[in-house]
Amino acid sequence: MSGTNDVAGTRAPVLPGSTIGILGSGQLGRMIAIAARRMGYRVHTLSPESDSPTGHVADREIVAAYDDVEAVKRFAEGVDVITLEFENISAACVDAASPIAPVRPKGSVLHTTQNRLREKTFLAEHGLPVAPFRHVKWREELAAATEEIGTPAVLKTAGFGYDGKGQVKIESADDVVRAWTSMTGQEAVLEAFIDFKLELSVVAARGLTGDFAHYGAVQNKHSNHILDVTAAPADVSGAVNVTAVNLTRKVFEALDVVGVACVEYFLDRDGNLIINEIAPRVHNSGHFTFDACVTSQFEQQVRAVCDLPLGSTEQPRPAAMANLLGDLWVNGEPDWASALAIPEVKLHLYGKQEARPGRKMGHLTAMADTREQAVEKVVEARRSLDSSL
């Protein structure tokens, strides 16, 4: 028995032919579902959305609120194991499902990572490096915390933030009132602003028996707080790479993660790694693995949650990934043929009907002899999609 991850007495590999349940129905679930179906699994997805990216490739799409306990129980009864592609799933949902089918990763992983304050406190308590931070409950506390942490600093809502949503930079004490107002009364975390050299992430997987496999450190460039381009491997020394992987492993062990997760880092100007955040699921910075690695993060997720051996993470060639946001559609349908005419460029579209600005609609991956060439190629391929340029 693996202990806390499972319904008592049920540990056995979930073999192909069984049904995997995915909570959430976006592009991450879609790519997990593609990997699962390729391996002969059936897939059910539950989310409040219909005609969803995951639903398009799943055997069953169940449309229900995550807090609809009866619907979640019925969903759990129809599957052999449950995983997720969206971490902001309530405890009520996990509690309803987990006595019926194992939920991997388990609820406590979600509880810790759903809230920045809990996550940072957890990391600090485990001796893992985070930026200095303070819990801020009201405006007066923010003024005091800003004095302690110093400026610049970043104020973030404690809960439910992603892609830079719910955060504001404080340049000086004069910004305190404006910054607090933007939190609309929500609890917040103030953290030191890191003058980083690079942003890195490590995507990895952990199985039920603690086996661990990682894709090494990759390098991420954000635009408007949204991931723009990932280069793999990252342009860092072997020592930084090893440290990032070791820290990631410690995070996985401390949380007792089963499945794929991602740890995002800042590399500061002195070469120190600081953990920014943890995503307890497959991650945008691991999308390149679909094309560039022997086992993608999506297949790895299936293997890990089904208690099968983790696959090789070997990456034969450097790769880069560029996100395709809805903004790309302003001049009409992108010119797919131009991008696809470039050798070693791969297109992924998520089947979303409405191309809203900032919405992740798809991505491109490119492979090349070097990281720099891969980045150049994927950026060029993306540029070629806009025929007005």
Question: Where do contacts with ligand AMP occur on this chain (CB under 6 A)?
Answer: 131, 154, 161, 164, 167, 191, 193-194, 196, 199, 222, 225, 276-277
* Separation CA 197–CA 355 (nearest Å): 33
CB of 168 to ligand AMP, least distance (A): 11
Residues 275 and 129 sit within 8 Å (Cβ to Cβ)? yes
DSSP string of 30-73? HHHHHHHHHTT-EEEEEES-SS-TTTTTSSEEEE--TT-HHHHH
CB of 88 to ligand AMP, least distance (A): 13
Strand order in the sheet with 19-23: 60-63, 42-47, 19-23, 81-84
Q: What does the DSSP 8-state code read for residue 328?
A: G
* Residue with smaller CB distance to ligand AMP, 106 or 156: 156
* Residue with smaller CB distance to ligand AMP, 158 or 308: 158
* Residue with smaller CB distance to ligand AMP, 193 or 212: 193
CB of 304 to ligand AMP, least distance (A): 24
* Separation CA 7–CA 4 (nearest Å): 8
Cα–Cα separations (whole angstroms), residue 247 to 22, 133, 202: 28, 19, 9
DSSP string of 251-282? HHHHHT--EEEEEEEEEETTS-EEEEEEESS-
Which contiguous run of DSSP H or E holds residue 250? helix 238-255
CB of 20 to ligand AMP, least distance (A): 28
CB of 44 to ligand AMP, least distance (A): 30
* Residue with smaller CB distance to ligand AMP, 67 or 228: 228
Q: Which two tokens stand for residue 248?
A: 């990631």
* Residue with smaller CB distance to ligand AMP, 11 or 118: 118
* Residue with smaller CB distance to ligand AMP, 95 or 195: 195
* Residue with smaller CB distance to ligand AMP, 161 or 286: 161
* Residue with smaller CB distance to ligand AMP, 137 or 225: 225
* Residue with smaller CB distance to ligand AMP, 248 or 296: 248
CB of 267 to ligand AMP, least distance (A): 12
CB of 161 to ligand AMP, least distance (A): 5
* Residue with smaller CB distance to ligand AMP, 6 or 199: 199
Contacts 24+ apart (CB under 8 A), 159-166: 159/114, 159/115, 159/116, 159/186, 159/187, 160/88, 160/114, 161/116, 163/225, 163/226, 163/227, 164/222, 164/224, 164/225, 164/226, 165/225
* Separation CA 180–CA 318 (nearest Å): 43
Contacts of 6 (CB under 8 A, 6+ apart): 102, 208
Identity of the residue numbered 228: D
* Separation CA 291–CA 368 (nearest Å): 12
CB of 320 to ligand AMP, least distance (A): 18
* Separation CA 91–CA 73 (nearest Å): 13
Cα–Cα separations (whole angstroms), residue 90 to 87, 106, 207: 9, 12, 23
CB of 216 to ligand AMP, least distance (A): 19
Identity of the residue numbered 265: Y
CB of 183 to ligand AMP, least distance (A): 14
| Closest CB to ligand AMP: residue number | 194
* Residue 59, number of CB atoms within 10 A of its CB: 16
